Amino acid sequence: MPELPEVETIRQGLLPLVVGRTVVEASVSPEAPRLVAWPPRADDLCRGLAGQRIEGVGRRGKYLLFALADGRTWVVHLRMTGVLVYRPQGCGGGRFLRASFRLDNGASLCFADLRKMGRMWLVDDPAQVVGKLGPEPLSEGFTAADLGRLLARRSAPVKAVLLDQGAIAGIGNIYADEALFEARVHPRRPASSLSGEEVRRLHKAVGLTLVRAMGDRGSSFDHYVDARGEKGSHHLNVKVFRRTDEACFECGSLIQRIKVAGRSTHFCPQCQV
DNA sequence: CTTATTCCCTGATTGC
DNA sequence: TGCAATCAGGGAATAA
């Protein structure tokens, strides 16, 4: 499940490989009829990409944004099992290959996706896709006070707010659990019940958690690989995520798994209150 | 406006 | 051994 640290690792990996390159040919498998969310016809996305030079690779939340020479933006979201890899020799086959984008140096960007939940768009303005996202948690402008204001008007569990992309962009199930452990806050606490001190702790914890994960080039619990097809290593360094019934590194209590906001949630019943 | 629930997808896992 | 049910989870859609 690529979240902010994984998508950012992919972005940084793609940057030196594709910026300045031109897409020669794009193709989308008829087996993936929902992959192209816009334009309505996948063929129009392929035709629109062909001949376009890639001017930059950006990221907003969990979305990758490819700036094209004609001013339009190719937007890619990997959802659960999507993988976007740069292959110098082209994509070849592969059972889960859903789309391929051949570049002017003979290499290809290959989009594989076991569960077919990934989406892509070709739009005039990226805001058409990412316009409703909340602030970037790692931006300078996102302060503890901002987080406090966000949480203050929500009665939902604090974890549900962390997962809400319209509240904060880029946090998914792994890093919500990890940040809440880091902040010593119980995932079921109503968001508005956090004290000022707890809000400051959570703000710091979110940043620390995401930066650490990027330092490990992301977590490869399942399918995630970076732009060159390499796994990350942060799944070896998590404190609670998928550590059910294992000892808390802080206090030795057994990590518990519960459901919060419809998502499996891992926490230490001793450390997190 | 909010929150909760369902659906999409398919391989892996669990239960009988 | 086989087969069905369940689970994983991001985000859109829908319900309340």
Q: Distance between CA atoms of A62 and A48, rounded to whole angstroms?
A: 23
Q: pLDDT value at position A1?
A: 80
> Considering the entire predicted model, what is its pTM?
0.95
In 3-state terms chain A splits into helix, strand, coil percentages (rounded to 5) of: 30, 25, 45
**Token duo for residue A242:** 């998928």
Q: Is the CB of A117 under 7 A from strand B?
A: yes
Residue A2 falls in the annotated catalytic set: yes
Helix locations, chain A, DSSP H: 4-18, 42-49, 127-130, 144-152, 158-163, 173-182, 196-215
Given A62, A98, A188, A239, the catalytic residue: A62
Given A3, A8, A178, A182, the catalytic residue: A3
Nearest to A61 by CA among A162, A149, A186, A148: A162
Distance A168 CA to B9 C1' (A): 26
Q: State which amino acid sits at residue A63.
A: Y
Q: pLDDT value at position A202?
A: 95
Q: Which distant-in-sequence residues (6+ apart) come within 8 Å of A266 by Cβ?
A: A177, A240, A241, A242, A243, A244, A255, A256, A257
Complete domains list, chain A, with CATH: 4-130 (3.20.190.10), 144-267 (1.10.8.50)
Q: pLDDT value at position A35?
A: 92
Report residue A40 CA to chain centroid gap.
24
Q: Distance between CA atoms of A107 and A103, rounded to whole angstroms?
A: 5
Residue A47 falls in the annotated catalytic set: no
**Token duo for residue A226:** 């970076």
Tally of CB atoms within 10 A around A35: 21
Distance A173 CA to C13 C1' (A): 21
Starting at the edge strand found earlier in the chain, the sheet holding A108-113 runs A23-28, A97-103, A108-113, A82-87
pLDDT along chain A (273 residues), means of 10: 92 96 95 90 94 96 95 93 94 89 96 91 92 92 93 92 92 93 93 94 95 93 90 92 91 91 90 93
